[in-house]
Structure 1
Amino acid sequence: MIERVIEGILFRSRWILAPFYVGLVVGMLVLLFKFGHELLHFVLHAVAATESDIILGILALVDLTLTCNLVVIVIFSGYENFVSKIDPNGHPDWPDWMTRVDFTGLKQKLLASIVAISAIQLLKAFMNLDKGTMSENTLMWLVIIHVVFVGSSLVLAWSDSLSNNKH
């Protein structure tokens, strides 16, 4: 009897996560605001911008988009895996992956997004080298961090592969 009550409480406690996912939706709205701000700044300064400035502006927009994609993956996959199943019926444009991403797939998608975001940050830093706004030390740390992200994703993929081969 006591065990069933405790298990019931633990099972229902997963709903504590729901406000976190709603908070991430609010975070996406903030990203949308920042995206709009960056887009407006990009468009208003496009005429006088150099080719490098245009590329950096586009990279900033891509970076914000990838970050928002990452948040969507976390919201849907996390909610589906840890809180409750989402019923895709009645949604004709429902992406197939949203109800099929398991925890391993979630980790891989997260790391892939983080590596892509890190690569964009590194590319932006390389493009700013001629402007003198980035020190060599900062650039070195950006490269090291990116290599760590790439290495981590490779190790995760390898360990998941080993785990899948055992099953």
Structure 2
Amino acid sequence: MKALETVVERIILGSRWILVVFLIGLSVALAVYGLSFGVKLWKVIGSVFVYDDAEMILAMLGLIDAALVASLLVMVMIASYENFVGRFDDHDAELHWLGKLDSGSLKIKVASSIVAISSIHLLQVFLNASQYTDNQIMWQVIMHITFVVSALMLGVLDKIMAKH
């Protein structure tokens, strides 16, 4: 029976390496998103003298939004690998902050990033309010408030758990 238990434990521990497939997939997705960002940036550069102030602000918000999403992807990839698969050994100087990213703090950082991304989307909606119905704007605000409350609750729960 002990031999069976050892085999099961090794299978379960070894299965964490399956996550690497997902993390490599996220790396590929990040590269594709980088290409998409480049196309958007090129469009903004080509339109710099055509856009009015409002259009330029919307274009910049789109670029900021893309940067936040890309940062979120990198944060999830690095923290997931570090927390579940293995340690980064040869990059101590570059990744000194990694030791501070446990699953609880990762959840809060992800939630904060989602709130930031949602804020940018909501600002884009407000700047283009004429293109949306009041009902659509209301639902956008409700979704944003839901993200904010969720992030706050994660922070409160993390603080409560840290006390215990």
Shared fold per TM-score greater than 0.5? yes
Distance 1:136 1:33 in 2: 34
The 1:88–1:141 alpha-carbon spacing in structure 2 relative to 1, beyond 3 Å, is farther
- Give the 3 Å change call, closer, same or farther, for CA 40–97 of structure 1 in structure 2: same
Unaligned runs of at least 5 residues, structure 2: none
Partner of 2:133: 135
Contact 1:119-1:146 at 8 Å conserved across structures? yes
1:20 aligns with 2:22: yes
2:49 aligns with 47
The runs of at least 4 consecutive aligned structure 1 residues that moved more than 2 Å come to none
Q: Where do residues 11-160 of structure 1 align in structure 2 (5 Å cutoff)?
A: 11-89=13-91, 92=93, 94-129=94-129, 132-160=130-158
CA contact (8 A) 1:17 1:83 kept: yes
Identical pairs, percent:
37
Name the CA shift for 1:88/1:149 in 2 (closer, same or farther; >3 Å): farther
Relative distance call for 1:150 and 1:45 in structure 2 (3 A) is same
Q: Distance in 2 between matches of 1:88 and 1:61?
A: 32
How many residues align structurally? 162
| 3-state DSSP of counterpart to 2:131 | coil
Post-superposition offset of 1:46: 1.5
**C-alpha deviation, 1:44, in angstroms:** 1.0
Cα distance in structure 1, aligned partners of 2:151 and 2:13: 31
Q: Cα RMSD between the aligned structures?
A: 1.2
Distance 1:112 1:40 in 2: 29
